[in-house]
A = this chain, B = another copy of it.
C-alpha cells in the first residue's frame, strides 16, 4: 500500500504575495503537485484559465457548492474562491504531495477536513509593507485597499490555526523556507517511524 501524500496549504493575508511565491516554487522542479483553485473573480493581466485559476461564473461555482464538489470555498471581497476536492483526494492517495494556495478562510475549512495537513502562513515583513504591496499592485480602489488591510489584520490573528509561519521578505527566501518545511515534514518521526520499525522485523 502506498503511503498517502502530504497536503501542503499555503495561505496568508490578501496581498502578502501567495501567488508570487507559489509561482516561484513551481518554476523549479518540485516533488509536489499544484491543485489549481477555482474563482469567480476576473482574470488579472496575464492570468490564464486552467493555469492560474479555473475562472468560473457565479452560477457554475454555486452549482459545484451544491454538489459538494469543493474541499473549501469562501466569498472574499465579493468573489468566490474554492478548491475542487476530486483532484486533491486522487493525488494524495497516489502518494504524491499536493500544494494548495488559498485564502485564510478556506484554509481553516481545509484544516477541519485534513487536520494532518501542513499549514503554512505567509507573513508580510510588516503591515506597512503589506499596504505598499496592495497599493502598488495598482488594480484596487482606495475602498478595496482599506477593506483588504482590515481583513489582513483579522487574518493575521488567525495564525494560531497554522503549523508554520514563513516571512515573505524575499520571494527566494520564502520559497527556500517552504521547501525546507516540506522536507522536514517528510522526516517527522510520527509520519515514518512505522516504516523503519518494519526494517527490524524483516532483517
Contact = CB atoms under 8 A, between A and B. Distances in A.
Interface in A149-192: 153, 156-157, 159-160, 162-166, 176-177, 179-181, 183-185, 187-189, 192
B188 A177 contact: no
B193 A165 contact: yes
Q: Copies of this chain, how many?
A: 2
A103 B176 CA distance: 31
Given A121-B189, A189-B121, A184 B199 contact: no
A160 B180 CA distance: 23
Nearest to A118: B184
The DSSP consensus for interface residues of chain A is: helix
Contact of A184 (B128, B181, B200, B203): B181
A140 to B, nearest CB: 20
A159 B163 CA distance: 23
A2 interface: no
Interface in A40-78: none
A109 interface: no
A197 interface: yes
Contacts of A197: 156-157, 159
Contact of A179 (B164, B180, B185, B203): B180
Most B-side CB within 10 Å, residue of A177, A183, A197:
A183
Most B-side CB within 10 Å, residue of A176, A179, A184, A196:
A184
Classify chain A's interface size: 20 to 34
Contact of A189 (B159, B187, B188, B193): B159
A127 interface: yes
Contact of A163 (B157, B188, B203): B188
Given A157-B200, A163-B188, A164-B184, 4 more contacts: A127-B199, A127-B200, A180-B181, A180-B187
6 contacts: A126-B203, A160-B189, A163-B188, A163-B189, A165-B187, A165-B193
